[in-house]
Amino acid sequence: MTGSGVSTSLRPTSWIPYAGLLVLFWGVWGAFSALPTKLYAYPDPMIYVVWAFTMLIPAWFSLRGRRFDRSRTAAGYGLLIGLTGAGGQLVLFKALTIGPAYVIFPIVALSPAITVLMAFGLLRERLGALSWTGVVLALVAVVLFSVSTGEAGDTGWVYLLLAVLVCVAWGVQAYYMRKAAVAGVDDASTFGWMTISGLVLIPVALLMMGGLPLDFPWQAPALTAGTQVLNAVGALFLVMAMSRGKASIVAPVTNALAPVLTIVLSLIVFGAQPSAFQIAGIVLALAGSTLMVYRAEKSSEAVPA
């Protein structure tokens, strides 16, 4: 008991640098990911294509020296997780070209609501007061965002709808991530299948553009690669943080603090001025996502392995 006590006392601090890097990378990525489109009119499907290739970098690091699980269970869960995640990315890049990041990312951060409701409906998991409070805050936040886009015309409703679709896709993804972990699929293999899924959807992105565009300056793909590497490597830091710390602490960081950094950078760098409804929606969205993830992960950790 005393021998394990030393390692236990050291272990809680080991995840902090990776979680901090995760927040930094995803927060900066969220704020600047739309720049290639805004500066060079770079098509959002091409942003997806570049992102899919940048996923190879963290995939190589995560799988280095480890066995890639090719079993039917790992492939089934991995591809489902990857396709919902990559499909969400494809929709997200479109949303970011027509809407503000400081509104889109708080909506995306509500994805735990989908995970919690799926666990309640499909797994008959009992939800505590924190979970239901988070769901209610999430619904109120979406209503506030809907009111705030009323003056933006059709475009406001489009990016709001796209953000909600991303939220649903990533909520479903998180649900099956949990099921894959219970089935014994390791994180590195899941990440590898996620990378494969992202590459599989490249032809879909190319079809959306009608082919590969070649009439853009080199700065456009270079800037895209720079921002999307932040996205891809941030996912690697997530895996590293989750393997070293409690999910009940790491998960709220990923769902709340990264969007907060995105919001702050968007407001400071781009001088955005959100409305009162948007500010209220942002606060409620972040609070709701944190409550839902905290409650869900705490409950899962309480179940004996």
User: Which of the two residues, 204 and 10, has the higher pLDDT score?
Assistant: 204
| Residue 296: pLDDT over 60 | no
Is the pLDDT at 102 greater than 90? The verdict is no
CA distances from 20 to 16, 65, 106 (A): 6, 25, 19
pLDDT: is 232 or 257 the higher one? Answer: 232
| Measured distance CA(173)–CA(73) in Å, rounded | 16
DSSP per-residue string spanning 225-266: HHHHHHHHHHHHHHHHHHHHS-HHHHHHIIIIIHHHHHHHHH
C-alpha closest to that of 200 among 55, 302, 37? 55
Average pLDDT over residues 7-36: 75
Tell me the residue length of the chain.
Answer: 305
Predicted pLDDT of residue 4: 40
More confidently predicted of 253 and 121: 121
Rg of the chain (C-alpha set): 19
Token pair, residue 230, equals 């932040």
Query: 13-17, 20-24, 195-199 — which one is most confidently predicted on average?
Result: 195-199
- 3-class secondary structure per residue, the chain: CHHHHHHHHHHHHHCHHHHHHHHHHHHHHHHHCCHHHHHHCCCHHHHHHHHHHHCHHHHHHHHCCCCCCCCHHHHHHHHHHHHHHHHHHHHHHHHHHHCCHHHHHHHHCCHHHHHHHHHHHHCCCCCCHHHHHHHHHHHHHHHHHHHHCCCCCHHHHHHHHHHHHHHHHHHHHHHHHHHHHHCCCCHHHHHHHHHHHHHHCHHHHHHHHCCCCCCCCCHHHHHHHHHHHHHHHHHHHHHHHHHHCCHHHHHHHHHHHHHHHHHHHHHHHCCCCCCHHHHHHHHHHHHHHHHHHHHHHHHHHHCCC
Domain positions in the chain: 26-302
For position 250, what pLDDT does the model report?
Answer: 61
Q: Which of 9-13, 69-73, 96-100 has the lowest mean pLDDT?
A: 9-13
What is the rounded CA–CA span in Å between residue 298 and residue 305? 14
pLDDT surpassing 50 at residue 210: yes
**Comparison of pLDDT for 48 and 273, the residue scoring more:** 48
- State how far the Cα of 45 lies from the Cα of 203, in Å rounded to an integer: 10
Q: Of residues 15 and 34, which shows the higher confidence score?
A: 34
Mean per-residue pLDDT, 61-67: 89
| Residue 46: per-residue pLDDT | 94
Please, what is the average pLDDT of the chain? 78
pLDDT of residue 305: 43
pLDDT of residue 195: 94
- Asked if the model's pLDDT at residue 170 lies above 90, the reply is no
Per-residue confidence at 56, pLDDT binned at 50, 70, 90? very high
More confident residue, 258 or 192: 192
pLDDT of 84 = 93
Least confident among 41-45, 110-114, 187-191, 239-243? 239-243
* Per-residue pLDDT band at 147 (split at 50, 70, 90): low
